[in-house]
Amino acid sequence: MTHRLDPSILREYDVRGPVGDRLGLGDAYAVGRSFATRVRRVNGRSVAVGRDGRLSSPDLEAALVRGLSEGGVDVVRVGLGPTPMLYYAEATLGVDGGVQVTGSHNPVHHNGFKLKLRHQSFFGPDILDLARLAAAGDWTSGSGSVGEAEICDAYVDRLLVHHRGRPFRVAWDAGNGAAGPVVERLATRLPGEHRLLHTRIDGRFPNHHPDPSVEANLADLRRAVLEYGLDCGFAFDGDGDRIGAVDGRGRAVRADLLLAILAEPVLRDRPGATVIADVKSSAALFDRVEALGGRPLMWKSGHSSIKSKMLDEDAPVAGELSGHIFFAHRWYGFDDAQYAAVRLLEVMAETGRPLAELVDALPRYVSTPELRFPVDPIRRLRIVDEVIDRLKSQGAEVDLVDGARVTTPDGWWLLRASNTEALLTVRAEARDDAALTRLMAQVDAELAASGVTRPD
């Protein structure tokens, strides 16, 4: 038996696509058989499986489990919950791998699979290898067992093991995503006043799209914080691995600034340690880490790339502008928005300062949001290469770790190609509005030289 996985669903960090169009039950079964084969070929025997709250997730999970068991792997189903809960299961249940059925923050009709093998990220060539094994029918066979484990309460217990907080007034917006039940449990365990928004899991996402990196999706959270005079608010994406935040003044706080705040107590405990952030992150973060005696390291965007680099560098904490924050300090090295929220409350308690004051203590810059726009898929990578070639010929100061991050006296700007879609990403940061305007003019001039006009 062979199966062809549509190349468009083979993303850099996971398998993901529109259900019923490019991703179906046969694909879920094939992913299960191929992943079982990879597990068996490293002498593994068991896999934990979880799912998010999307309408298609139960059927896809059932097909995946059938593929895993018929590939000779024992399956431990941990049920409905956020992706970090599945990661926690993979780290603690003595299994050899983990798969979460999730569409993350993508549109309602999308879904997919995030995978881990032997506590390591499974991405890039590993994802492509699933398709190779399926196309060749190169699958192990067997009759694995299928069992269940209830881990939500144990996961929440673990989130709070080191927490020594004081009462705060907090709003929590789960966006009708898979983090809802965990957020509800946290709210009953944490001291203070907690107002819950959209914690009922609903794969239609009736209130707003569960992507906290888009400021418009924080409107309900901001309204609650301001209406009730709360200290702060936290929001989560559809599978609970990305965090958004609003301070007590109703300002959205980007994840790179959250990481700058979170890094300080970690660096007190681990002096001189490396703190990793992706190329989209603010200079305020890198400057703050250096001022605290840490070693700031800029790295490629993508949760799997960051996790792998953390292992290489023995980094205790890392993050991405998109909202992924990773702790190896007192945690397991994976991205967990619920844990990041608990750690932020801990910093507020230790310092006696609300989130707004912690943000105001950081250097101030003006910046664009992450600007993403479609381009010809065939030209996507070539456009960035053309810009890099011109910049090199001009003697510009360019960091090439992921696309081109160009530093000038005005600040910096970034151009990179998406790893998962036919999109280019632009972002710029400067000390004032006039400098930011000049930076964006440089970006647009470079794009125009490659025949690209950036949408307004």
Q: At 211, give phi and psi (nearest 5°).
A: -135, 95
Task: Name the band, by pLDDT with cuts 50, 70 and 90, for residue 4.
Answer: very high
**H-helix segments, 352-451:** 355-360, 380-394, 433-449
Q: Mean of the pLDDT values across residues 189-200?
A: 97
Read off the pLDDT of residues 49-98 as tens digits, 9 standing for 90 and up: 999 999 999 999 999 999 999 999 999 999 999 999 999 999 999 999 99
Query: In terms of domains, do 158 and 268 share one?
Result: yes
Strands 371-374 and 423-430: antiparallel
The residue out of 364, 382, 407 marking a domain boundary is 364
Instruction: Please indicate, yes or no, if residue 383 is contained in any of the structural domains.
Output: yes
Whether 111 maps to a domain, the answer reads: yes
Among 320, 345, 364, residue at a domain's last position: 364
Q: What type of residue is 256?
A: D
DSSP string, 135-158: HHT--------EEE---HHHHHHH
| Known active-site residue 104 | yes
Spatial distance between the Cα atoms of 37 and 31, rounded to a whole number of angstroms: 10
Joined together, the tokens standing for residue 225 give 């914080």
The Cα 456–Cα 451 span in angstroms is 16
Regarding whether 144 and 217 lie in a shared domain, the answer is no
Question: Which of the following is catalytic: 34, 56, 57, 104?
Answer: 104
pLDDT beyond 80 at 420? no
Q: CA 257 to CA 342: how far, in whole Å?
A: 16
Residue with tokens 């060749």: 136
Q: Which helix (H) or strand (E) holds 338?
A: helix 337-351
What pLDDT shows up at residue 164?
85
pLDDT at 377: 85
Residue range 126-141: mean pLDDT, rounded? 98
In this predicted structure, the answer to whether residue 421 has a pLDDT above a threshold of 80 is no
Q: Chain-wide mean pLDDT for the chain?
A: 96
Q: Let me know if residue 71 belongs to a domain.
A: yes
Q: What number is the average pLDDT over the span 234-248?
A: 98
Nearest CA among 102, 355, 366, 54 for reference residue 204:
54
Mean pLDDT score, 323-340: 97
Q: How many domains does the chain have?
A: 3
- Residues 397, 360 share a domain: no
CA dihedral angle for residue 220, residue 368, residue 341, residue 115, rounded to 10 degrees: 100
Q: Does the pLDDT at position 380 exceed 90?
A: no
Residues 242, 128 within the same domain: no
Say which CATH number the domain at 417 has: 3.30.310.50
For the stretch 265-291, pLDDT in tens is 999 999 999 999 999 999 999 999 999
Q: d(Cα 98, Cα 77) in Å, to the nearest integer?
A: 10
| Per-residue DSSP letter, 134 | H
Amino acid at 79: G
12 and 92 assigned to the same domain: yes
CA separation for the pair 94, 90 (Å, rounded): 7
Beta bridge partners of 79: 50
Paired residues of 374 in beta bridges: 423
Beta strands 274-278 and 317-319: pairing type? Answer: parallel
2 within a domain of the structure (yes/no): no
**Residue 394 structural domain:** 366-449
Residues 6+ apart with CB under 8 A from 397: 406, 407, 408
pTM for this model (two decimals): 0.95
> Do 103 and 29 contact (CB within 8 A), yes or no?
no
Q: Do 296 and 249 sit in the same domain of this protein?
A: yes
